[in-house]
Amino acid sequence: MEKLTKELLEQWSEEYNGSAERQLATMALSKTNLNDVSYVASAAFDMKQKFSVEIKTMDVTDQMHSGRCWLFAATNILREKIAKALGLEKFELSQSYLAFWDKFERCNYFLENIIDTADRPADDRTVSFILTSGVHDGGQWDMFVNIVEKYGLVPKDVFGETGQSCDTSGMNGIVNRNLKACAVKLRNMIKEGSSSEEVKEEKNRMLQKLYAFLCSCYTEPPKTFDFEYVDKNGIYHAEREMTPKAFYEKYVGDYLCKMISIINAPTEDKPFYRTFTVDRLGNVAEAKGVKYLNLPMPEFKGAVVRQLQAGKVVWFGSDVGKGGDRKNGIWDDNSFNAELLTGLDLEINKGDGLDYRFSAMGHAMVITGVNIKDGKPTRWKIENSWGDKNGAKGYYVCSDSWFDAYVYQAAIEKEYLGETADLFEEEPIVLKPWDPMGTLAL
């Protein structure tokens, strides 16, 4: 390895001290956030909350101190459908109910993966990934579908928030500590020659304790409930002794079966018009894994626009850690010029960004509008789940260039994909567990 010499350091020091740009940047950065200094107001002015296609939706929700964005975004789509059918001005589904069952199912999924890989050393990359990932709050569209199809849905006023459901770090830490202890015991049992039945019985004892702990954190999910609501005309309604599955079947029906998860991943290992899955990424052991159809961005956006034009909002996954101003509620790569401020080369395309771990999905939201100019999108309206204190009462806007760079996934109804939807039936290519297309679940 080549060392850094005193001569080089002296040369670079002289160049730094002789640069007016670097001295100005030093003054600006001494007391100001880097993102604020790189802010380009003239570009940000274009991020107006005005859209040629806009779907009126209810007040934003708040996931609080948790990583349940995927559940909030998905239930925000379904609540619009239910509220419209029942004539409700306000309505929210219980994200905690789904989070409870997702977390419990993920505990079983984790232990099953530990058992399945028990013949490998602990530092095997797959085993290490399973142990490092553990069980957390994130998830994918297909994982939402798995939980809803198995356990149904309940309104939020039936199963609300607790101290642990809305601030999950402590609970997650305990769950993952326990799961690692369980992993040690199960792997040792298998190594010592325990029968599969003995291992299964021990795993079930572990799950029994985890169930009790999660009930302590969330309270126990309801088996039946009374669905009570007052419609926009002030009329009270009640449906007694509903089960969560009956509620789902009555008010959602086969809607989720019509959805396809599309991605835009322009990397060499993911050819367009092919389907993909991620190995060992899931929640419900007996259910299907995640599955994506990879499309070029023009076709990806075309499907999103068609669904919006039909009056239906869109669940999507993106990287919100890039080019954002949370207070003003914008995401726009042109509204920040960090390259000029820092003097560094920061250009990296979307495909390289995925391959070199610069960018990946980390947050799910809902697209509720788009502005079309000369037949092309210019900006998009976004319903977030970070409360109503920022943006336009919690609604954000992103530029089309930011969409191109940092939007990776969307759930689209088959009819808005046309014949392309038929490709989804193909057998998927299996990606490694650590592929960046799985990061939203972590």
Q: Which residues are catalytic?
A: 69, 363, 384
Contact residues for 244 (Cβ-Cβ < 8 A; gap 6+): 97, 151, 152, 153, 154, 221, 222, 223, 225
Copy the structure tokens of residue 293.
């159809």
Q: What is the DSSP letter of 93?
A: B
Instruction: Write phi, then psi, for 217 (nearest 5 degrees).
Output: -80, -40
Instruction: Write phi, then psi, for 338 (nearest 5 degrees).
Output: -70, -25
Q: Is 268 exposed, middle or buried (0-12, 13-18, 19+ CB in 10 A)?
A: exposed
In contact, 440 and 137? CB cutoff 8 Å: no
CA distances from 349 to 276, 293, 357, 358, 402 (A): 22, 21, 12, 10, 12
- Residue corresponding to tokens 């909030």: 72
Sign of CA dihedral 243, 146, 124, 439: negative
d(CA 380, CA 397): 6
Give, in degrees to the nearest 5, the angle at Cα 403 between 397 and 409: 110
In contact, 136 and 439? CB cutoff 8 Å: no
| Strand 292-294 versus strand 395-399 pairing type | unpaired
In contact, 238 and 228? CB cutoff 8 Å: yes
